[in-house]
Amino acid sequence: MEHQHSSHQDHEHHTSSSHGEHQGHDKHAGHSPEMFKQRFFVSLLLTLPILYFDPHFQEWFNYQAIQFPGSSWVSPILSIVLYFYGGWVFVQGAWRELRSRIGMMTLVALAITVAFVYSLAVTLGLPGMPFYWELATLIDVMLLGHWIEMASVQGASQALEHLAQLVPSVAHRLVDERLENVSVSELQAEEIILIRPGEQIPIDGVVIEGASSVNEAFLTGESRPVSKQEGDEVVAGAVNGEGALKVQVTRTGEKTTLSQIMRLVQEAQSSRSRYQVLADQVAYWLTLIAIGVGTLTFVIWLSLQDLTFAINRAVTVLVIACPHALGLAIPLVIVNATAMSAKNGILVRNREAFERARDIKTIAFDKTGTLTEGRFGVQAVYVEGLSKKEALAIAAALESLSEHPLAQAIVEEAEREHVQLSSATDFKAIAGKGVEGKVGGKSYCVGRPEWIGELGIEFPLSVQSGLEESEAKGESVIALMDETRVLALFALADRVRESAREAVRQLQQQGIQVVMITGDAEAVAQTVAADLHLDRYHARILPSEKAQLVRSLKTKAPAAFVGDGINDAPALLEADLGIAIGAGTNVAIESADLVLIEDDPVDVARALKLGKATYSKMIQNLLWATGYNVIAIPLAAGVAYPLGFLLSPAVGALFMSLSTVIVSINAMTLRRVPLA
């Protein structure tokens, strides 16, 4: 676990240094929480004798330390060990910083080195009072702060490790009906594997035999199992349910959906944020201010007090101003936001665009397949002389033999209504018109309304008004006829998703205007817009015109575009925030800023909510991490000394660490933001 984390940190360090940028927690390249934890406890043990022998402690707690030859050297020798064992990590960090850009490690290293060198000089004869106990406790508190910080960063980064653990290491390959256990890395495309009940799926593939339900919660955030049968796709990391599946491998290794998700999560976690850049700039100036104020404090107090007091004040300024919380303020929010997004099936590809989510005032949805299901459903049935169920039974008996998508919609509606189907005989498809055949020994035709006129049969008025009503809504109509008259009309349309209504409601609650864009006719667009309570829509828009329309929306207010990411690439790129929805297993959509794995428009509202929460956490952290210095630095410099209030370096280190802990906890509370 540690090894994985440190290599991830190394990766981040190299990424940022290759851009010549300074990033706070990258100074921990190659470090692990275990290392800081170990150094903290060893240093704490070494500190106890130093505190015991310190004159201040003997005076405060009214005791006499035991004396023996060389007892005066216990504190100096242990301090040397402490400086090189516990403090050297900060000196190394400062050395790395000095080669790029100074920051928090420089301040810590400067503070402990000044304290160490001065105290040693006093022991060797320089007049003054050493502060070994301050040096020791300062190193302890700094190690503790870094341990807490690294543990929280690692805890948030574990989203990646959890994803990596989803893939089993062994697969059951079928060769000539014989099973052999092989390493997943050996699998090739087109090979057949067996997945037993309860096992995790090791690769992406297509079911060629068997039926089961599969839990894809890691991918979609949806805990309900998804049923799988022949021809359905399964993805690596999902858990097989009650049935055995034979699967043909389609994607292996880096190409699997899970690997692509891991890559996107990793890129998002290590990507730079504009607020991170701001935090780094503030940290840089804070470091310069601290060194300046520390030097000035030393000069002023040297003229007013003794050398020990002056150094003590200067060291406290350097420690308390350490912009540690600032270096952690943004990265911790980023890793938490990314982990939370991935858990909710929201993949962040462009960190900066995600932060812009808070500004979005208009959101444009592509209609087909996004707000609607992208497949036809029966909206209404108009009948004459028979019941709705009877009409469905006859039409579905004939349409079950047809390949047409509209025919499938009628069959599905009959299934939904639990209609018992009869079998059709003498079936014949008439090109461009419909189908005909016998049901229960009687002849029927099912087809386009235009066919009615050609057959010259009776068209009852009640059914005729249904046709006018449906055509006004832009619905497709199918007629059921016997040899003498029209028996029923079925109005079909692309079904509005149930979740689309909820998504529009949530977005409008957030004060965002929702716009629908579609290539469909005006009547269809108007019907869907009315169903969704949308006051703005654009009909008959060609795919090439979508980007242009998004550009014009953008000029009025920051705009997002939601599409399926395949033919919507130009519009996704044009928008301030491009959201690809319903990516399913095809997550590598290069044009979108956010990729929503499920076909659920409500995830758009969730993503915007998370974007806003992420932004506010960043701002809160930045304000806290810089704001506390306004009070802390003057106190450390000794402005309250005339009032009898003085901060020691160790207390300064405690305050500094406390601010780091506050920033960490605040970032962690992001996980408590309700997205539903």
Other CB atoms closer than 10 Å to residue 620's CB: what's the count? 17
Structure tokens at 414: 């009959």
Reported as a single tens digit per residue, the pLDDT across 174-195 is 988 788 888 888 888 889 999 9
Residue 372 has pLDDT above 70, yes or no: yes
Which domains, and CATH codes, for the chain? 2-162+265-338+618-669 (no CATH), 188-251 (2.70.150.10), 344-372+496-611 (3.40.50.1000), 376-495 (3.40.1110.10)
pLDDT in tens, 130-146: 778 878 887 887 787 67
- Which of 109, 106, 96 is closest to 14 using CA atoms? 96
pLDDT at 159 over 60: no
635, 645 Cβ separation under 8 angstroms: yes
Question: How many beta carbons lie within 10 A of that of residue 356, not counting itself?
Answer: 17
pLDDT for position 218: 66
Residues 241-250 pLDDT 10s: 888 899 999 9
Tell me the residue length of the chain: 676
Active site residues: 366
What is the mean predicted confidence (pLDDT) over 210-223? 73
pLDDT band with cut points at 50, 70 and 90 for residue 24: very low
* Residue pair 399/410 in contact by the 8 Å Cβ criterion: yes
Q: Is the pLDDT of residue 68 over 80?
A: yes
Euclidean distance between CA atoms 256 and 587, whole angstroms: 10
Compute the distance between CA of residue 332 and CA of residue 512 in angstroms, rounded to an integer: 29
Q: How far apart are CA 378 and CA 475, in angstroms?
A: 10
User: What pLDDT is attached to residue 376?
Assistant: 82
Cβ burial of 265 (10 Å; 0-12, 13-18, 19+) is: buried
Looking at residue 317, what DSSP letter applies? H
What is the structure's pLDDT at 430?
A: 82
What is the rounded CA–CA span in Å between residue 316 and residue 636?
A: 6
Determine the pLDDT at residue 28: 56
Q: How many degrees, rounded to 5, is the angle at CA 28 between CA 164 and CA 153?
A: 50
Question: Looking at residue 274, what is its pLDDT?
Answer: 67
Q: Which residues, other chains included, contact 29 with Cβ-Cβ below 8 Å and sequence gap of 6+?
A: 6, 9, 10, 12, 13, 14
Q: State the Cα–Cα distance between residues 517 and 537, nearest whole angstrom.
A: 6
d(CA 13, CA 19): 10
128 DSSP 8-state letter: S
Q: What integer is the mean pLDDT of 603-608?
A: 92
pLDDT band at 363 (very low <50, low <70, confident <90, very high): very high
DSSP string computed for 50-96 = HHHH-HHHHHHTT------TTGGGHHHHHHHHHHHHTSHHHHHHHHH
Cα–Cα distance for residue pair 96/389, rounded to 1 Å: 78
> Under a CB-based contact definition with an 8 Å cutoff, are residues 20 and 277 in contact?
no
- pLDDT at position 502, please? 92
At residue 20 the predicted structure's pLDDT band, cuts being 50, 70 and 90, is: very low
At residue 221 the predicted structure's pLDDT band, cuts being 50, 70 and 90, is low
The order of strands in the sheet holding 577-581 is: 346-348, 594-596, 577-581, 559-563, 362-366, 513-517, 536-538
- How far, in Å, are 155, 237, 246, 376, 396 from residue 194 at the CA level? 35, 15, 5, 35, 37
Average confidence (pLDDT) over 437-441: 90
Average pLDDT over residues 102-129: 80
49, pLDDT greater than 90 = yes
Helices (H), 344-374: 351-355
Q: How far is CA 543 from the centre of its chain?
A: 29
The rounded mean pLDDT for the chain is 81
What is the pTM (predicted TM-score) of this model?
0.66
Measuring CA to CA, how many Å separate 675 from each of 134, 342, 605, 658? 46, 13, 8, 29
- pLDDT at position 353: 74
Q: Which residue has the higher pLDDT, 161 or 644?
A: 644
Does the pLDDT value for residue 437 go beyond 90?
yes
Q: Order of strands, edge to edge, in the sheet holding 212-215?
A: 226-228, 212-215, 239-240
- Decide which of 73 and 216 is more confident: 73
Q: What is the pLDDT of residue 4?
A: 36
Averaged pLDDT for residues 516-537: 87
Report the C-alpha gap between 338 and 270 in whole angstroms: 10
Share above pLDDT 70 across residues of the chain, in percent, rounded to a whole number: 86
The rounded Cα 495 to chain-centroid distance in angstroms is 30
Distance CA 663, CA 330 (A): 9
Q: Which of 275, 344, 357, 349 is nearest to 575 (CA)?
A: 357
Over residues 323-360, the pLDDT tens digits come to 667 767 777 787 788 778 878 888 887 777 777 888 89
- Residue 600: which pLDDT band, with cuts at 50, 70 and 90? confident
pLDDT at 455: 84
Give the other-Cβ count within 10 Å of 52's Cβ. 16
Share of the chain above pLDDT 90, in %: 22
Closest CA to 159 of 350, 354, 344, 352: 344
Which residues lie closer than 8 Å to 408 by C-beta, 6 or more apart? 376, 399
Confidence of residue 588 (pLDDT cuts 50, 70, 90): very low
What's the start-to-end Cα distance of the chain, in Å? 32
Please give the pLDDT value at position 43: 94
Rounded CA separation 633/176 (Å): 76
Mean pLDDT over 145-157 rounds to: 65
The whole-number pLDDT of residue 516 equals: 93
Q: Is the pLDDT reported for residue 46 higher than 90?
A: yes
Structure tokens given for 329: 């303020």
| Residue 569, pLDDT above cutoff 50 | yes
SS3 readout for 503-550? HHHHHHHCCCEEEEECCCCHHHHHHHHHHHCCCEEECCCCHHHHHHHH
Residue 270's pLDDT is what? 61
**Which residues face 171 on adjacent strands?**
182
For 190-194, 430-434, 576-580, which range has the lowest pLDDT when averaged over its residues?
A: 430-434
pLDDT at 41: 95
What pLDDT does 521 receive?
A: 78
Q: What is the pLDDT of residues 253-305, one digit of tens each?
A: 777 777 777 776 666 656 556 666 777 777 778 788 888 988 999 999 999 88
Average pLDDT, stretch 542-564? 88
Q: What is the pLDDT of residue 52?
A: 92
